[in-house]
Structure 1
Amino acid sequence: MSTGAARAEPRTRVSIRVEGIVQGVGFRPHVHSLARRLALSGWVGNDSEGVFIEAEGTRESLTRFQEELGGHAPPLAVIHRVTVTAVPALGDSGFVIAGSREGGARAALISPDVATCADCLAELSDPADRRYRHPFINCTNCGPRFTVIRDVPYDRPATTMAGFAMCEECTAEYLDPHDRRFHAQPICCPACGPALRLLGADGRTHRPGAAGSDGGAARDPIRLAAEVVRSGGVLAVKGLGGYHLAADATDEAAVRTLRSRKHREDRPFAVMVADLDAARTLCELDPVAERLLTGPRRPIVLLPRRPGAPLARAVAPDDRRLGVMLPYTPMHHLLAREIARPYVLTSGNLSDEPIAYRDWDAFTRLAGIADRFLTHDRPIHVRTDDSVVLAAGGRELPLRRSRGYAPEPLRLPRPVRRAVLACGAELKNTFCLAEGGRAFVSHHIGDLENYETLRSFSEGIDHFRRLFDITPRVVAHDLHPEYLSTKYACDLDGVDLVGVQHHHAHIASCLADNQEAGPVIGVAFDGLGYGADGTLWGGELLVADLTGFTRAGCLTPVPLPGGTAAIRQPWRMAAAHLDAAYGGTPPGDLRVSSRHRDWDDVVAVARSGVNSPLTSSAGRLFDAVAAILGLRDTVTYEGQAAIALEQRADPAEESGYPVRLGGDEGEREGEGEGEGEGDLAGGLLTIRTGDLIRAVVEDLRGGTDPAVISARFHNGLAAATAASCARLRASTGIGTVALSGGVFQNRLLLDRLVQALRLLDFRVLTHHRVPPNDGGVSLGQAAVAAARDLEG
């Protein structure tokens, strides 16, 4: 045997399991192309757990394959784990994409819906392309995902595209590993895909058919629909996750008509614009806002409104902010181009109802609102509202996490021993399923105040359980016995129930959002939550970790006169706070008291305690100050008075009202019923809000500008809260503060408090993956239940 003869390098084979968001995002074509380039043999395919790979080649080529597998993955892929196992070599040749495997435990993750990519937009605008102006253009890098998926593995038969048979050209693209539409499950074209229709107000009268069916732009539903908006009408539009209502945002009469028909008095409408340049004419944009507006998630972004922005006043009455979004489907892009001006795009519902997403339901419920319906024949499987975010502190602060985000899982700070279902809160409800180290927070469900929303809640849980193959053994719920989410939990059989106090869930949500376990000093400021002592909490200082908490402090409790009536009528909270702050004898020359004939009766009710439970609510404190300043005596939506107070504040004002801190040494408030709940020895630290109320009144009576008063109130509350945290650090040694609760949607308070805490050398945790409001409570409940289960 010649010593110079070359010996072939031995081939080895590995089996690779890839978990994460790796289905429907072009991951198999990526693997196929990489394997072919490295001369590997084997296969890649989808199954219920993710992507499976067998690859055979030289050790060097397999090493490079594993290195580049994740490093050069498609943009929408999210890899959570890669497991590699050596297997016997087969000596086969060629690398193929295998058919999907069914069965086994389901661990495959589902991609959120993704905004139309640049490649598809280029085709959409190219008259020479066969998908020119096709409203349903998509590829592996964009398009519908979560809203069309019925089951996993993510293949076309398991989506709402199953009823659309691919034409020959689409089939060729679908089967070509080198095409960017390779195994793009919603693939279609004008010859084989869904079709748009413009219908009359009754949802039955057919208007001219799809573009190209009869030739000519005059019969194009997009152009006809745009004319409805441009002429002052209200258009119902079937989007990704439900129906929207559109109107010309520059036409005062059109927007007022929409408000009247929708029964939405004051809450601002979101506005869609064609591109960033159009957004800049309406709002001030920074790099974070631009990234959010143009990214693949395409949420509504709350932005500072430019003075003189060319919009109807009725779009966002008396609001210095504007919710803006850019088109996220081909249909929205086409519609925005044809309307050629900003247009309102708001949820298709009456106020307080869930968004309509089934055609028959939309035609019934929206018949009295819309003049025309722009609809199509691709079913929506999951009702999904638009997401809403705020750019704060150089990063996004979610206010509503839904389309574009759900159902992407969140990592938990601790693994789950037994699968958990967390049922969330009553308002802004989401639910959460957790297993292993992952938490699946649902899309926005809404306020659980009617049958339709409750049905959406229960159907959503069933859908998530099926998609992710999770059977919960532990079910977490709020302590409030009348919440529908609590009743749902208590009606379940064969599970262990875990009650989680509302504000502990808020702080746990912030911990889980930052993948931490605590302990922290938790500041939970919100509207109302059922307290462990039977009162209504809402301005809380907790010493907490994931397993339990101690109520260490709170805002001064005052009565909630008339119960829920005080939420709708902030002047009632002004009466309660003024009576408490002045010991029953507030100044008699305040306009807020003279505006209401039954003021004295409400004060009497508050003092009697009849239908007037005590509350430490920060949200109700903001309501009271807004009413005292004459900004809002009544509200038509949650948080309206507090928003008015924030927006009235002068951001240049740096002084704040001094606030004393007190400790009720002999009292034992808030003794807990749950594990790890109770009081600090020595009593409860109290932020004396009466000092703030008296300072507000003194400045108001002295003629100080309400803008200055509002700023001083915000600054004073922030300073007092930071000082309270410093006092608690002295007794606990804890140097980390977690901020949660709906009040921290207030950008001014959040910024001032974070700044004050950092000046005191605190480490500060805020939300960035789930909302600080009740939309994040389910994640906190799941984290608490999982942590207690681990210890139990």
Structure 2
Amino acid sequence: MPDMLRRKFVIQGQVQGVGFRPFVYRIALDNGVTGTVSNTSEGVFIEAQGVPDAVERFGRDLHDKLPPLAQVVSRTEHDLPAVDGEETFVIVASTGGSGNTVLISADVATCADCLSDMADPANPRYLYPFTNCTNCGPRYTITRAIPYDRSQTSMACFPLCASCRAEYENPLDRRFHAQPNACPVCGPQVWLTTADGAEVCRHTEAVRQTAKALSKGALAAIKGLGGFHLACDATSEAAVTALRTRKNRWGKPLAVMVPDVETARQLATVTEAEAATMQGRERPIVLCRALENTPLAAQVMPDTHHVGIMLPYTPLHHVLFGFLREFSSGQVPALVMTSGNMSSEPIALGNREALRRLAGIADIFLLHNRDILIRTDDSVLRVHPGTRERQFFRRARGFTPAPVFLEGEGPCVLGAGPELKNTLCYTRGAQAFVSQHIGDMQNLETYGFYQEIAEHMAAVLQVRPQAVVRDLHPDYLSTRFAEEYGQRHGVPVLTLQHHYAHIHSVLAENRYEGPALGLALDGTGYGEDGTIWGGELLYVDTVELEHERVGQLALMPLPGGEAAIREPWRIAQGLLWNLGVHEPDTRQWTWWESFAQAASFLPQVLERRINTPMTSSCGRLFDAVAAMLGVCHTVTYEGQAAIMLEKIQDFSVTEGYGCPVLTDVQPAVLDTHTLFMQAYLDWCMEVPASVIARRFHLGLIRGAADLAAMAAEVLGIHSVGLSGGVMQNRTVSIELPEALRVRGLTPLVHGHLPPNDGCISLGQAAWGRKMLL
């Protein structure tokens, strides 16, 4: 008998719920080795025994032939004594334990094999809206705990029928240990109700009747993967307007779902990179430039030329669009699919909750009985032309809870996040786990959602933070949570200013170590000096943990405080007041007719400094220019004025306004007063708003790059992190990095998280982790 070699492999990463064990079983058979494979909270344990050449081939296959959804973070191996008499390779039962190092798989769009099953009338899963296999289907949203086994998911209450059990237990079947595995006999079911909960019909007919009602202008609440969608015909002006009216969501763009890329191209220009992203297993909402003659209702995206498009990612969506084509009557099959909530509330999760919260919006409800355990909105991103780099606006379904990999091992720290666009973050070893988008922490419903996710992530990751980091602002709900958490668990509560957290975040994403500059171009954040920051050039050293504000935008007033953020005309008039323009000159101010009484009273507020904080906010500067030009006087959602200002640019303009850097003060000041005054003088001379908008963008970009370059030369630094909500402006996000490169600097940008406040928790956690080392 030849000498036998037995080798143990420990694989850590995204290796549960992705078909990893049957993959190991198959390559064991292929290579003629015996042994075992098992899931544990430490990863996948493999023992392979055979002649040395066979074990070596097995090890190579273990690296080269991974399943499509698997992601290996670490692999260790060592030899063991051979086991006499072993004849087979066996998949053994999962085991638990503490110190979990497994990565949880995100939810995955329906695969081609399952779509084939659903399209075959002879297949038991024909048109079954919960079809899945090891390579697709729900993961994170149905998972209670690790190891990822059926008993730990919301599928535990659906006992497998004999046929599904045979698939589930056959290592050579693609549904082997597919935890959500089900069929019409044993799995979840779908039904249609009216808004008062009265059942209309069940099963496939329920989906068919939903499609028919949508084609006739109805509004539907549809239970999805991570919560409910509100849906309507995206080509019907009446239906979309009704949805906006009932949901009380005006202006902010609505996402659209279409059956395939070919249909998407009937609505928008879709590049190959955008199409590839749209069709990826994550199936995010991808921002694409709408066609000039797009059949979409104008109310889908009234403030921008870009529309967010996504493709079906659940079997239910595919069945729905199959029926929708029957009722479209030659129209493009496109549905608005927006979060099932009232504005500012979390997405609805359960059937009873949805009927209670959405009855005033939806006419019909398409429900099912597979529980959603974790609320998760759709992810939103854009693909930059040329570079094909992704930029997130919202990171959630399909991407969370995949980690951001950090430089070096470190203790567990919890980043509590900001108030707006909140996420929270736990670090574990060399990984940072940022939650899905939670939302604006301005009501108790969202705060409850936040607490759910904080508890769930800690349990699934099996971590206990040694510190928690909060924002400097004393009144945020996340600040309250951090303080209570620290007191309850006896761990220190650290504080990091909002914009430093932005820069620590982008540096952490790029695994950058050492001193760097950071341009934090943002809305508003509580500053270290008690003022409102938002346009900052920061020095940050991630090794020495030093930071300093070395530059800023010129200060401007916010007359009325929060009221000025809602009514940007106040900022425009306040800035003009500070620049010595106390009343209209050659032209009447664009806001005067609508706000004459308040505008005439504003000088008293400004003169006496009544509730008029000063800010360096870059976002508020965009608001002021948009209001001055008459583009937007009041906002209904964050960033609206800037979006509308960017939309009107005349890109034939190549010269921007001057925006000098004032170095005779500390910190240095980017003279955005001069920038604004040039825009105002052009407006007085009736230069077209489109030209002024472009000159403003160009001037600001050049000025910000000059500010960074001057500081870089003095400090001997060449890397500049770019973060903050203004970096979501398409023009700024493309042209500012290039302006830095022209000046010999290396821009560092976000690729895993959005540059808006959704990245704050990562910056907090990364900094806090260093503080404990």
1:267 maps onto 2:233 in alignment? no
Q: Which residue of 1 aligns with 2:328?
A: none
Q: Which residue of 1 aligns with 2:146?
A: 152
- Report the Cα offset of residue 35 of structure 1: 1.0
Q: State the distance in 1 between where 2:393 and 2:652 align.
A: 26
For the Cα contact (< 8 Å) 2:98–2:462, is it kept in 1? no
Q: Which residue of 1 aligns with 2:667?
A: 684
Task: Pick the aligned partner of 2:34 from 20, 36, 41.
Answer: 41
For the Cα contact (< 8 Å) 1:268–1:316, is it kept in 2? yes
- The range that moved more, 441-450 or 651-660, is 651-660
1:80 maps onto 2:83 in alignment? no
Q: Which residue of 1 aligns with 2:606?
A: 606
Q: Which residue of 2 aligns with 1:32?
A: 25
Q: State the distance in 2 between where 1:208 and 1:435 align.
A: 48
Q: State the distance in 1 between where 2:603 and 2:104 align.
A: 54
Q: Once the two structures are superposed, what CA deviation does each residue of 1:283-342 show, in whole Å capped at 9, x if it has no partner?
A: 111122111100000111111111010011111114211011000001011112222311
1:240 maps onto 2:225 in alignment? yes
Code of the aligned partner of 1:471: R
Q: State the distance in 1 between where 2:251 and 2:726 align.
A: 20
- Report the Cα offset of residue 272 of structure 1: 0.4
Show structure 2 runs of 5+ residues with no match: 326-332
1:171 maps onto 2:165 in alignment? yes
- The range that moved more, 33-42 or 509-518, is 509-518
1:121 maps onto 2:115 in alignment? yes
For the Cα contact (< 8 Å) 1:581–1:691, is it kept in 2? no
For the Cα contact (< 8 Å) 2:502–2:763, is it kept in 1? yes
Q: Once the two structures are superposed, what CA deviation does each residue of 1:374-425 show, in whole Å capped at 9, x if it has no partner?
A: 0100000001111100112421101100000111111012422x21010000
Q: State the distance in 1 between where 2:98 and 2:342 align.
A: 43
For the Cα contact (< 8 Å) 2:251–2:303, is it kept in 1? no
Code of the aligned partner of 1:515: R
Q: Once the two structures are superposed, what CA deviation does each residue of 1:208-256 show, in whole Å capped at 9, x if it has no partner?
A: 2223xxxxxxxx1110010110111100000000011100111111111
Q: How does 1:160-239 map to 2 (within 5 A)?
A: 160-202=154-196, 204-211=197-204, 220-239=205-224
- Report the Cα offset of residue 70 of structure 1: 2.4
Q: State the distance in 1 between where 2:91 and 2:306 align.
A: 50
- The range that moved more, 607-616 or 752-761, is 607-616
Task: Pick the aligned partner of 1:475 from 465, 468, 473.
Answer: 468
Q: Once the two structures are superposed, what CA deviation does each residue of 1:18-50 show, in whole Å capped at 9, x if it has no partner?
A: 100000000001101111111111000111122
Q: Which residue of 1 aligns with 2:275?
A: 290
Task: Pick the aligned partner of 2:683 from 673, 697, 700.
Answer: 700
Code of the aligned partner of 1:83: T
Q: State the distance in 2 between where 1:151 and 1:651 align.
A: 52
- Report the Cα offset of residue 586 of structure 1: 6.6
1:430 maps onto 2:423 in alignment? yes
Task: Pick the aligned partner of 1:753 from 736, 739, 746.
Answer: 736
1:570 maps onto 2:537 in alignment? no
Q: State the distance in 1 between where 2:610 and 2:88 align.
A: 80
Q: State the distance in 1 between where 2:540 and 2:735 align.
A: 23
- The range that moved more, 312-321 or 400-409, is 312-321
Q: Which residue of 2 aligns with 1:649?
A: 649
TM-score (norm 1): 0.94
Q: Once the two structures are superposed, what CA deviation does each residue of 1:703-757 show, in whole Å capped at 9, x if it has no partner?
A: 2221111111000000001111110011101011110000000010121211111
For the Cα contact (< 8 Å) 2:516–2:541, is it kept in 1? yes
Q: Which residue of 2 aligns with 1:771?
A: 754
Q: Which residue of 1 aligns with 2:329?
A: none
Q: Which residue of 1 aligns with 2:559?
A: 561
Q: State the distance in 1 between where 2:454 and 2:303 align.
A: 38
- Report the Cα offset of residue 59 of structure 1: 2.2
- Report the Cα offset of residue 152 of structure 1: 1.1
For the Cα contact (< 8 Å) 2:278–2:311, is it kept in 1? yes
For the Cα contact (< 8 Å) 2:303–2:647, is it kept in 1? no
For the Cα contact (< 8 Å) 1:523–1:739, is it kept in 2? yes
Q: Which residue of 2 aligns with 1:521?
A: 517
1:109 maps onto 2:103 in alignment? yes
Task: Pick the aligned partner of 1:390 from 382, 395, 404.
Answer: 382
For the Cα contact (< 8 Å) 1:511–1:518, is it kept in 2? no
What percentage of aligned pairs have identical amino acids? 46
- Report the Cα offset of residue 580 of structure 1: 2.2
Q: Which residue of 1 aligns with 2:540?
A: 544
TM-score (norm 2): 0.96
For the Cα contact (< 8 Å) 2:412–2:466, is it kept in 1? yes
Task: Pick the aligned partner of 1:253 from 238, 249, 254.
Answer: 238
Code of the aligned partner of 2:18: V
Q: Which residue of 2 aligns with 1:215?
A: none
Q: Which residue of 2 aligns with 1:322?
A: 307
For the Cα contact (< 8 Å) 2:416–2:425, is it kept in 1? yes
1:97 maps onto 2:91 in alignment? yes
Q: Which residue of 2 aligns with 1:675?
A: none
Q: Once the two structures are superposed, what CA deviation does each residue of 1:681-705 show, in whole Å capped at 9, x if it has no partner?
A: xx21101111111111122122222
Secondary structure of the residue that 1:147 maps to in structure 2? helix
Task: Pick the aligned partner of 1:498 from 465, 487, 494.
Answer: 494
Q: Which residue of 2 aligns with 1:216?
A: none
For the Cα contact (< 8 Å) 1:504–1:548, is it kept in 2? no
For the Cα contact (< 8 Å) 1:527–1:743, is it kept in 2? yes
- Report the Cα offset of residue 601 of structure 1: 2.3
1:420 maps onto 2:413 in alignment? yes
Q: Which residue of 2 aligns with 1:677?
A: none
Q: Which residue of 2 aligns with 1:534?
A: 530
- Report the Cα offset of residue 664 of structure 1: 4.7
Code of the aligned partner of 1:782: A
- The range that moved more, 312-321 or 270-279, is 312-321
Q: State the distance in 1 between where 2:587 and 2:687 align.
A: 16
Q: Which residue of 1 aligns with 2:2?
A: 9
Q: State the distance in 2 between where 1:445 and 1:318 align.
A: 24
Q: State the distance in 2 between where 1:180 and 1:72 align.
A: 15
Q: Which residue of 2 aligns with 1:680?
A: none
1:349 maps onto 2:345 in alignment? no
Q: Which residue of 1 aligns with 2:330?
A: none
1:591 maps onto 2:589 in alignment? yes
- Report the Cα offset of residue 591 of structure 1: 2.2
Q: Once the two structures are superposed, what CA deviation does each residue of 1:82-115 show, in whole Å capped at 9, x if it has no partner?
A: 1112211112121010111122322222100000
For the Cα contact (< 8 Å) 2:223–2:366, is it kept in 1? yes
Q: Which residue of 2 aligns with 1:624?
A: 624
- The range that moved more, 241-250 or 655-664, is 655-664
For the Cα contact (< 8 Å) 1:137–1:189, is it kept in 2? yes
Q: Once the two structures are superposed, what CA deviation does each residue of 1:530-553 show, in whole Å capped at 9, x if it has no partner?
A: 101100000000011332311000
Q: Once the two structures are superposed, what CA deviation does each residue of 1:489-541 show, in whole Å capped at 9, x if it has no partner?
A: 01122011110110000011111111212421100001000101100000000
